[in-house]
Amino acid sequence: MSELKYQRLLLKISGEALAGQEKYGIDPDTVSTICREIAHVHKLGLELALVIGGGNIFRGMAASAKGMNRAPADYMGMLATVLNAVAVQDALEKLGCPTRVLSAITMQEVCEPYILRRAERHLEKGRIIICSAGTGNPYFTTDTAAVLRGMELRCQAIIKATKVDGIYDKDPVTNPDAVLYKELSYSEALQKKLRVMDATAFSLAMENNLPIMVCSLAPGNITNVVQGMNVGTIVHGG
């Protein structure tokens, strides 16, 4: 553990990241690339929990905006996260990492139910846990689920891995003059309405003083973060 700044972290990965260059679905090569770095930090001794979004398959809020009732739309989004979790589990186990997929919605033939004490035992035994189906409730995003699981599991910080290399003052894809924040307080992130995470997730993290580090999935970034290097943007108290 001398190489690592943290002992236990939660890594939040967007569903879109698993699609690679595609607009929809799961790209096996991209999943394998992401999982190789996850496997690397795990083998350094890091206790690691994952929360994966489902936006590459189905996004409940988008369906709701087009007229679908929000609750069933969100449940469909939760099921999409289970598909992604199983894909990541398969890739990690091919790399020799023991894993467990835990779901907030019971589906015993596919994965274990999320039970806090069981999840903690898996981490203590050196298994990567992949928390799926969000919180199990509609109207909550996987960002909020990530903060909730991070607090429950007593993680020291959350890494949110995205397609951009941190939090900007505006969308860097459409605004070349966008400015990268290296550090933000929770209140600043809320006041500026920065959309890298939803307000509920930021508020929950602020109330419990759980740091959030936002960076891209570029090779080496996750390793650099867990070793304490200044990568992307950190959101914390202050």
Task: Look at residues 154, 155, 51, 60 and name the one whose alpha carbon lies nearest to residue 104.
Answer: 51
Assigned domain for 207 exists: yes
User: 60 versus 119: which is more confidently predicted?
Assistant: 119
Question: Average of pLDDT values for 72-98?
Answer: 96
pLDDT of residue 215: 93
Assigned domain for 127 exists: yes
Task: Look at residues 169, 178, 164, 168 and name the one whose alpha carbon lies nearest to residue 216.
Answer: 164
Assigned domain for 2 exists: no
Q: The domain containing residue 223 runs over which residues?
A: 8-236
pLDDT in tens, 62-84: 888 888 899 999 999 999 999 99
pLDDT of residue 170: 87
Assigned domain for 1 exists: no
In this predicted structure, the answer to whether residue 230 has a pLDDT above a threshold of 70 is: yes
**pLDDT band at 1; cut points 50, 70, 90:** very low
CATH code of the domain in which 174 resides = 3.40.1160.10
Assigned domain for 66 exists: yes
Number of domains in the chain: 1
pLDDT of residue 238: 62
Predicted structure pTM score:
0.93
Assigned domain for 72 exists: yes
